Amino acid sequence: MIVQRYKKLLFICLAVLLATLDAASAFAAAKIASAKNFNLRVSVNGQLFSIDSDNAGAPRNAAQILKSIWTGAPLYSAKALKQTIASIATKTDVPPKNYSISAANGNVYVDTATAPGKILNQQTAFLKITAAIENHEKKMALDSTVLEPQVSITNAQKAAAQANLLLEKDLWISYNGHVMQVPRQTIAGWIGSVPSGADDLEIYLDKNKVAQTLRSLTEQYDSAPKEMVLDLNSQNKNSNFIPPVTGTQANTSLGSDQIINLYSEALARKTSDSGNKNSPLNIELITIQPPVPDSAAKLGIVSEIGTGATTFYDSSNARIHNIKIGANALNNILIGPDKNFQL
């Protein structure tokens, strides 16, 4: 009788265990399917994005998923999900449009068109998205934070007045023996602005625009490099040699820095003494080496080593005769690298 009771109890325990295993297996299978296939549609500022198992860094195989279930780890990678949210923010964030300065006809004025901006709070978005993933949600919307313009009209007007002060005197540059004036309207086009501090507007010179101006002003006085000419005859002797010529070009990067420093100092002093007609700003020359032609490179010739010259003015006929013989013997001989020459 007791044995039968124990058998019955054993069967009940086995049934409960099997039912538990079946439930655990079904739970694990559901988790595996959820981790492999979840797709959350997220709306931000009217744009629709997808957060799925790929861009959320979910475990890739059943073993990894079961490990996550066993350890209680989330079925996504926090690092991968934050990177995806940051990518969404770059597409949806809109900076506020502040008062700024613009140039026209050689003068700077305040651009009064302003508009609020929108920015996605990425930390808040992360918390909401992870909660939606855990709750197996299919779609959700995220709100952006509104950013109001920060620059005051008073500070924008001060910045414009300061920029116009810089334009009162002329800018002159000197390059390769030529002196040139930079037009006022061109300098005005260099000037930009950026919000600074609580409500201030900072002005600056755009280095790329300055460099482009220097290039357009100086390129007519550049000299192009010229390759050497080396022609060989059937005896492998040089029949025509013209040495290479080094080219020159303006160092517009350094010149731009010099101009920006000149105006930055004037801004710091809040004066218009950036003009320099009496002492033009010298733009440095940089040399450009010409390429070595293949015909010379194959012979190891990369540059002219040196030249020699003599005069036979008022020389005797015998000396003139000897010079001619020597010149004819030396003329057009090629001496390769590490080779000896003997006459």
**236 contacts: CB under 8 Å, gap ≥ 6:** 334
Evaluate if residue 122 carries a pLDDT over 50: yes
Label residues 69-90 b or e (16+ Cβ within 10 Å = b): beeeebbbbeeebbebbeebbe
Evaluate if residue 338 carries a pLDDT over 70: yes
What's the confidence (pLDDT) of residue 31?
53
Give the pLDDT mean for 168-195. 92
* CB of 180 closer than 8 Å to CB of 217: yes
pLDDT digits (tens, 9 = 90+) for 188-205: 999 999 999 889 999 999
* CB of 34 closer than 8 Å to CB of 136: yes
What's the confidence (pLDDT) of residue 116?
96
What's the confidence (pLDDT) of residue 251?
96
Residue range(s) occupied by CATH 3.10.20.800 in the chain: 153-330
Highest average pLDDT, of 173-177, 307-311, 334-338, comes from 173-177
In the chain, the percentage of residues whose pLDDT exceeds 70 is 78
Rg of the chain (C-alpha set): 39
What's the confidence (pLDDT) of residue 335?
72
**57 or 27, which is more confident:** 57
Of 285, 279, 283, nearest in space to 248 by CA = 285
Give the pLDDT mean for 335-342. 73
Give the pLDDT mean for 128-152. 92
> Considering the chain, what is the average pLDDT of its residues?
82
Model confidence at 287, in pLDDT bands (50, 70, 90)? very high
pLDDT digits (tens, 9 = 90+) for 32-49: 555 456 789 999 999 999
Only one residue has tokens 């190891």, namely: 300
Evaluate if residue 207 carries a pLDDT over 80: yes
What's the confidence (pLDDT) of residue 9?
62
Highest average pLDDT, of 174-178, 235-239, 322-326, comes from 174-178
DSSP per residue, 42-99: EEETTEEEEEETTTTT---SHHHHHHHHHHT--SS-HHHHHHHHHHHHHHH-B--B--
| CA–CA separation, 209 and 25 (whole Å) | 67
How is residue 41 annotated by DSSP? Answer: E
Both tokens assigned to 197: 């501090």
Taken in order 266, 280, 221, 284, the sign of the CA dihedral is: negative
Q: Which of 183-187, 215-219, 337-341 has the lowest mean pLDDT?
A: 337-341
Domain 2-95+115-147: which CATH number of 3.40.50, 2.60.40, 1.20.1530, 3.10.20: 3.10.20
- What is residue 35's three-state secondary structure? helix
* CB of 288 closer than 8 Å to CB of 249: yes
Model confidence at 21, in pLDDT bands (50, 70, 90)? very low
φ/ψ of 45, rounded to 5, equals 55, 40
pLDDT digits (tens, 9 = 90+) for 26-36: 555 555 555 45
Q: Which of 215-229, 274-288, 315-329 has the lowest mean pLDDT?
A: 274-288
**Architecture of the domain delimited by 153-330:** Roll (3.10)
- What is residue 194's three-state secondary structure? strand
Question: What letter represents residue 107's amino acid?
Answer: N
